[in-house]
Structure 1
Amino acid sequence: MATKLSEVIVGTFPQLRYEPTPKRIRASIGGNAVVDTLHAWLVWEPRRITPVYAVPEEEVLAELRPAGAPTADVPEVAVRMSAGAPPSFDPRTGFGRHTTPGEPLDVVTGTTAVPGAAFRPDDPDLAGYVVLDFAAFEWREDDEEILAHPRDPFHRVDIRASSQAVTVSLDGVTLASTNSAQLLYETLLPVRYYFPAEDVRLDFMEESAKRTACAYKGEASYWTYPGSEGGKDIAWSYKRPLRDAAQIHGLVSFFNERLDVTVDGVLQPRPVTPWSRPQDRRG
């Protein structure tokens, strides 16, 4: 019987997972080094979509102490990667929400103490390793800064030019239409249609204060279409994309979970993703 690989990947989310990385991994805070290692692993706690770094405890350059206070309750941000998939946690669920047994640790370096920024998993396969909170430190892989979270080696982004006629509309109002889209294909996510700015009705929209960071694409800025209740932060653009996403520099994309996309005249189904909202689903 054939195996659909995406179902295998999503099916592992409830498990504790790890994968060694050959990259040089460095973390620091306030100019103080926390770790510099060639022996890091990527670790996904159960239900986590994105990994964090685990490093050999003996290579940590800071002091690790048992957590001085109980970890505050960290809210879960549960999302579904697809219809029928079990709920998982995206990066908005803070590091302190651990889903595997282990010991929280404080990280102390110089005059800086970061409560609960390390975690020693109680698992024989991870013996000798501690997991570090990505948000607590500045990170580099080799000599390059890493944004948002570590990159998943089984996750990739491909971008392809397309001459198909692509149109997006919301509440019957056309917001963009082009025959020059760049199609962005990202593992486990729906295709994203990126429009040249001149093919987008930016005069209908207002620039938003919202900003998000993607480990694969860079920092995104957003637009809101004020003519609709569902138009808040509906579109985004990468003004300074990372090298791997250079083809979408200055282009504009939309949440196809929340509006109508037609490709060569065919209305596309609205996908179910972590960015779906119940009120935006058709049918």
Structure 2
Amino acid sequence: MRVRFGGTWIADSEHVILLFEPGRYPVAYFPETDIAPDVLEATPHTTQHQDLGRTSWHIVKAGGQRASRGAWQHIELPAYADELRDHIAFAWAAMEAFYEEDERILGHATDSYHRIDIRRTSRSLVVRHRDCIIANTNRPLALYESGFAPRWYVPHADVDMSSLTAVEHQTFCPYKGLCNYYDIGAARLGAWSYPKAYSEVDRISGFVSFEPDIVSVELDGKAMKLEPGQTVVAHGPDRLLTIEEGQPGVRA
């Protein structure tokens, strides 16, 4: 894995450790010996991690650019986390890009145990906003994703697209691709769609999904709601990615 900042490679390692914490995206920790010299400037700022102890923060400098608090290191690790000793993590959003070999990692490092299954169904799904029916279908796709409530995707033809207003807001999912959003009247970001989803989940490309905590979504006549802890906290696209740049194998 490699890190690019200020137009140069600042870290390059075959011994990166990925840290998985509940409710957080994976974080890559690089051995200090695999980080370019003079890139890190220690600061007096420290924080306290509830599981990993005191954490010191660094300024990242390269190519005439500076990222305040662009990297951190756990300096009082408990014995069970000793593997992270002498390792540095870089703030994802502050860096230009992260790479695995020659391919850019988009959104965040992926979890090899993360799974997505898509199933065709004939169940009835109706979406309403106030007194208007926004979508009505008997052929939705059910998307099951590790750690999240099932999401239901509606064919474009079964959605009243005149009720949806495209907005500039986008997010990026390393497992599905670049996601566009829609307002439904005053219901901001009530719907979303992957216009060109990754090949592994291409079945949802162009389909529309709706947020049951923002608009009314009924499955077989029963109102849906997200269970506690299953709300998605999405990342924005890295450095204004286009759909094409977000495709696997595209070099940045």
Same fold (TM over 0.5): yes
Secondary structure of 2:192's aligned partner: strand
State the distance in 2 between where 1:44 and 1:61 align.
25
AA of the residue aligned to 1:118: A
1:36 aligns with 2:18: no
- Counterpart for residue 128 of structure 1: 86
State the distance in 1 between where 2:33 and 2:227 align.
45
AA of the residue aligned to 2:74: P
| Kept in 1: contact 2:114–2:146 (CA 8 A) | yes
1:236 aligns with 2:192: yes
Secondary structure of 1:236's aligned partner: strand
- Counterpart for residue 201 of structure 1: 160
Q: Which deviates further from its counterpart, 198-207 or 254-263?
A: 254-263
Shift of 1:98: 5.6
- Counterpart for residue 274 of structure 1: 231
State the distance in 2 between where 1:97 and 1:222 align.
36
- Counterpart for residue 244 of structure 2: none
Q: 2:29 aligns with which of 39, 42, 54?
A: 54
Secondary structure of 2:189's aligned partner: coil
Shift of 1:108: 2.3
State the distance in 2 between where 1:117 and 1:40 align.
17
Structure 1 residues 140, 161: closer, same or farther in 2, change over 3 A? Answer: farther
- Counterpart for residue 27 of structure 1: 3
- Aligned-residue CA RMSD in angstroms? 2.5
Post-superposition CA distance 1:214-259 (Å, at most 9, x none): 2222221111111xx4x11100111232333322111111112333
- Counterpart for residue 186 of structure 1: 145
State the distance in 2 between where 1:186 and 1:62 align.
41
Unmatched segments (≥5 aa) in structure 2: 234-252
- Counterpart for residue 90 of structure 1: none
| Kept in 1: contact 2:7–2:63 (CA 8 A) | no
Unmatched segments (≥5 aa) in structure 1: 1-24, 72-95, 277-283
- Counterpart for residue 84 of structure 1: none
Q: Percent identity?
A: 28
- Counterpart for residue 143 of structure 1: 102
Q: Which deviates further from its counterpart, 257-266 or 186-195?
A: 257-266
AA of the residue aligned to 2:165: E
Structure 1 residues 44, 121: closer, same or farther in 2, change over 3 A? Answer: farther
Shift of 1:171: 2.3
Post-superposition CA distance 1:21-69 (Å, at most 9, x none): xxxx121124301222221111246x75212111111011253434347
| Kept in 2: contact 1:257–1:271 (CA 8 A) | no
Question: Where does 1:15-164 land on structure 2 (aligned, <5 Å)?
Answer: 25-44=1-20, 49-68=24-43, 70=45, 100-122=53-75, 123=77, 124-137=82-95, 138-164=97-123
Structure 1 residues 206, 62: closer, same or farther in 2, change over 3 A? Answer: farther
State the distance in 2 between where 1:149 and 1:221 align.
18
Structure 1 residues 30, 97: closer, same or farther in 2, change over 3 A? Answer: farther
State the distance in 2 between where 1:62 and 1:151 align.
28
State the distance in 2 between where 1:68 and 1:128 align.
17
Shift of 1:198: 1.1
State the distance in 2 between where 1:140 and 1:244 align.
21
| Kept in 1: contact 2:60–2:67 (CA 8 A) | yes
Shift of 1:179: 2.1
1:257 aligns with 2:232: no
State the distance in 2 between where 1:196 and 1:160 align.
13
Secondary structure of 1:58's aligned partner: helix
State the distance in 1 between where 2:123 and 2:23 align.
36
- Counterpart for residue 202 of structure 2: 246
